[in-house]
Structure 1
Amino acid sequence: MTVVRALARPLLSVIFVVQGANAIRNPEPLVPKAQPVTDRMVPMVKKVAPPQVSDRIPDTTANLVRLNGAVHVLGGLALASGKGRRLGAGLLAASLVPTTLAGHPFWLEKDKTVRNQQRINFMKNLGILGGLLLAAVDTEGKPGVAWRATHGAKAAKRETKRGAKAAKREAKELAREAKHAAKLAKAELHLG
């Protein structure tokens, strides 16, 4: 791991761990802002999710806020520690979308000053989302699964061609040797 990664991951995750822990301990201040988003999203998710998932979705907005906080804490710790960092970054990115929509709906604000402040916070979250997406796909310089699969298939094809060419050369050489052996046998018959 590079020094930049060792510094960047904890810096990117600290807001999620701290705010997630706060949401778990004290969700009530966040409930009024989360309510409009959860009222729209939960029925949609319950409709498309399999029964074993939809049955486990919390019924109250406070518990949904706590659940989101838990995702933030766990994802943040995974990202910061490097253990499950890509999954953690992906979870944080996915949970940041509804968090941002609930927390910073600048388009609903009438007061110009409040609207500008909400817009700035909204855009900050978009920047954090970009960082999380980069962290989610970061393979630390190692080839990703897709690259390895593609290049593995190409390498296998190359090796197969090489093997076929070698087998063809070998068969030609054996044919030459057999022809030469036949000539020698024929010559011995004529001498003897």
Structure 2
Amino acid sequence: MSPVRSLARVLLSGIFLAGGVRQLRSPEQYVQRAKPVTDRLTPLLERAAPTLPSDTETLVRVNGAAHLAGGLLLATGHFTRPVSLLLAGSMVPTTLAGHPFWTHDDPETRTGQQVHFMKNLGLIGGLLLAAADTHGRPSLRWRAGHRIGHSRRSVQRAVRTARRETRLAVRSAAAARRLPG
């Protein structure tokens, strides 16, 4: 594993580790900002999975746990591709709830929120790159296609061999019938 990849993952995971711990320790400071987004998501969650909790504080804690666990896995290099996708997906509601710059009238506040919004978009981009990174190895899609192509060629080779063997057997049987005996 290259040192650059390792360092990049550790640096990228830092914000998730710190944010996850903060959300787990004191979710109440995030509840007010998250409420508009969770109010929109709650009907979808109740339809999709009625047994899951839908109150804002619990969802903030779940998001914090996802960020903490995902940050740890990303930093240690375990399950980096799926964890990166999980973190990128969790950043969408986090960004919408945390930095709605379009709701602010004060130009200074609006600019500050817009900077944080764009920073989060950059984090999502970095996470998508980490999700696509195969560490120099071929992707699963390529390996599956290559395996299928290899299997197809093997079957075609076996069919050609069977046909050739059949033709030889037919010729041998015909030649054996023609022999006096």
Q: Does the aligned pair in 1 maintain the 2:101–2:114 contact within 8 Å?
A: yes
TM-score (norm 2): 0.89
- Kindly provide the amino acid, as one letter, of the partner of residue 55 in structure 1: T
- Segments of structure 1 that go 5 or more residues without pairing to the other structure are none
Which whole-Å CA distance do the structure 2 matches of 1:90 and 1:55 have between them?
24
Which position in structure 1 is the counterpart of 2:120?
A: 125
Q: How does 1:135-154 map to 2 (within 5 A)?
A: 135-154=130-149
Corresponding residue of 2:168: 173
1:148 positional shift: 2.7
- Identical counterparts, % of pairs: 48
Q: Between Structure 1 and Structure 2, how many residues are aligned?
A: 181
Match of 2:52 among 51, 56, 59: 56
Match of 2:89 in 1: 94
Q: Which amino acid aligns with 1:3?
A: P
Q: What does residue range 181-192 of structure 1 map to in structure 2 within 5 Å?
A: 181-183=176-178, 185-186=179-180
> 1:43 corresponds to which residue?
43
- Paired residues of 1:107 and 1:115 also in contact (CA < 8 A): yes
Structure 2, gaps ≥5 residues long: none
CA contact (8 A) 1:37 1:102 kept: yes
| Aligned-partner Cα distance in 2 for 1:58–1:18 | 24
Contact 1:89 1:132 in 2 (8 A): yes
- Shift of residue 179, structure 1, vs aligned partner: 4.2
Conservation of the 8 A alpha-carbon contact between 2:42 and 2:54: no
Q: TM-score, normalised by structure 1?
A: 0.85
1:75/1:87 contact within 8 Å kept = no
1:95-132 Cα distance to aligned partner (Å, 9 max, x none): 10000001111111111121112111111111110111
Note the aligned Cα RMSD (angstroms).
Answer: 1.8
